């Protein structure tokens, strides 16, 4: 008796494939190339852990309310991975694809195209996806590391080049420096190694699940859930 997954014998995959490889196999029906694996691992590591961000707090509070239902706490944490927090990678990826298409059509270079598009965003007062960070200024070390790795491995292509072009013009267009953040770097490096745009959203969700599980295990021994809630409630002086 055998179990077949994506046309392969599951028994043969157990013990020969890493979890990262298997994720790509499930997602795309084929294992990753070496570059895809390298950058998928790099991106997952870059964004898994963020400290006590809101969705981690929501998860810890939920665990405090039912310590036996770990799945409920993880789900509460994942619900906090909404468009505002985690959808930016996909938005930035779409912006890159549109910019590259426009550049090719117009025959101009990255710099001119990026400036034109940045000005359009600026004019309609829309934020440029992947730019700006409350903490990491002037540089987001995770983003710079991902882009540097793309240069090192020789995988930097049109998407990384275009993202660098945006980075070069934003300070001028907005009149102040804006950090190229990790949500800009992820689509740039992943799209250049062939990862599909529509699968980008899955990267932060998988990464954060790993981090949530670690936080929730810690909460089992060192409960913060109700403490966090009490402290936050005091802050608004409610009741």
Q: In this chain, which of 123, 125, 176, 236 binds a copy of itself, going by CB under 8 A?
A: 236
| Residues 21-54 as b or e (16 or more Cβ within 10 Å = b) | bbbbbebeeebbeebbbbbbebbbebbbeeeebe
Shortest distance in whole angstroms from residue 191 CB to a copy of itself? 16
Q: How far is the CB of 223 from a copy of itself (least distance, A)?
A: 11
Choice between 11 and 106, CB closer to a copy of itself: 11
Residues 70-89 that bind a copy of itself (CB under 8 A): 70-76, 78-86
CA distances from 14 to 2, 3, 25, 213 (A): 13, 11, 13, 23
Complex with a copy of itself: residue 173 or 191, whichever CB lies closer: 191
Cα-trace Rg, the chain? 20
* Least Cβ distance, residue 118 to a copy of itself (angstroms): 25
Using the contact rule CB under 8 A, the part of the chain among 68-76, 100-108, 115-123, 157-165 near a copy of itself is 68-76
193 contacts a copy of itself (rule: CB under 8 A): no
- Number of CB atoms found within 10 A of residue 191's CB: 23
Q: How far is CA 112 from the centre of its chain?
A: 27
Binder to a copy of itself among 98, 101, 171, 205 (CB under 8 A)?
205
Q: Does 229 bind a copy of itself (CB under 8 A)?
A: yes
Q: Which is nearer to a copy of itself, 68 or 105 (CB)?
A: 68
Is 100 in contact with 151 (CB distance < 8 Å)?
Answer: no
d(CA 145, CA 190): 14
Give whichever of 12 and 106 is closer to a copy of itself, judged by the CB atom. 12
* CA–CA separation, 3 and 208 (whole Å): 29
Sites for a copy of itself among residues 119-178 (CB under 8 A) = 136, 139, 141-142, 145-146, 149
CA angle at 116 for the pair 166 and 152, rounded to the nearest 5°: 25
For a copy of itself, the binding residues in 95-114 under the rule CB under 8 A are none
* Rounded Cα gap, residues 228 and 58, in angstroms: 9
Q: Does 64 bind a copy of itself (CB under 8 A)?
A: yes
DSSP secondary structure letter of residue 189 = H
Positions 4 through 63 that interact with a copy of itself (CB under 8 A)? 4-5, 10-11, 13-15, 17-20, 22-23, 26-27, 38, 40-42, 44-46, 48-49, 51-55, 57-58, 61-62
């Amino acid at each position: 008796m055998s179990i077949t997954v994506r046309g392969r014998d599951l028994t043969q995959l157990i013990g020969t494939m890493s979890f990262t490889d298997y994720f790509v196999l499930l997602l795309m029906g084929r294992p990753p190339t070496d570059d895809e694996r390298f950058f998928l691992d790099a991106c997952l590591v870059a964004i898994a852990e963020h400290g006590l961000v809101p969705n981690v707090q929501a998860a810890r509070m939920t665990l405090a309310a039912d310590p036996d239902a770990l799945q409920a706490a993880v789900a509460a944490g994942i619900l906090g991975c909404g468009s505002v927090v985690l959808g930016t990678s996909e938005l930035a990826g779409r912006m890159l694809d549109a910019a590259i298409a426009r550049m090719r059509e117009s025959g101009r270079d990255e710099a001119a195209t990026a400036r034109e598009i940045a000005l359009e965003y600026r004019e309609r007062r829309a934020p440029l996806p992947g730019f700006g960070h409350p903490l990491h200024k002037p540089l987001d070390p995770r983003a710079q590391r991902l882009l540097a790795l793309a240069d090192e491995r020789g995988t930097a292509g049109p998407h990384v080049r275009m993202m660098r072009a945006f980075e070069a013009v934003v300070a001028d267009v907005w009149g102040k420096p804006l950090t190229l953040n990790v949500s800009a770097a992820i689509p740039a490096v992943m799209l250049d190694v062939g990862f599909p745009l529509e699968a980008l959203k899955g990267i932060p969700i998988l990464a954060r699940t790993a981090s949530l599980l670690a936080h929730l295990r810690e909460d089992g021994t060192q409960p913060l859930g109700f403490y966090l809630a009490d402290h936050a409630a005091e802050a608004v002086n409610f009741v």
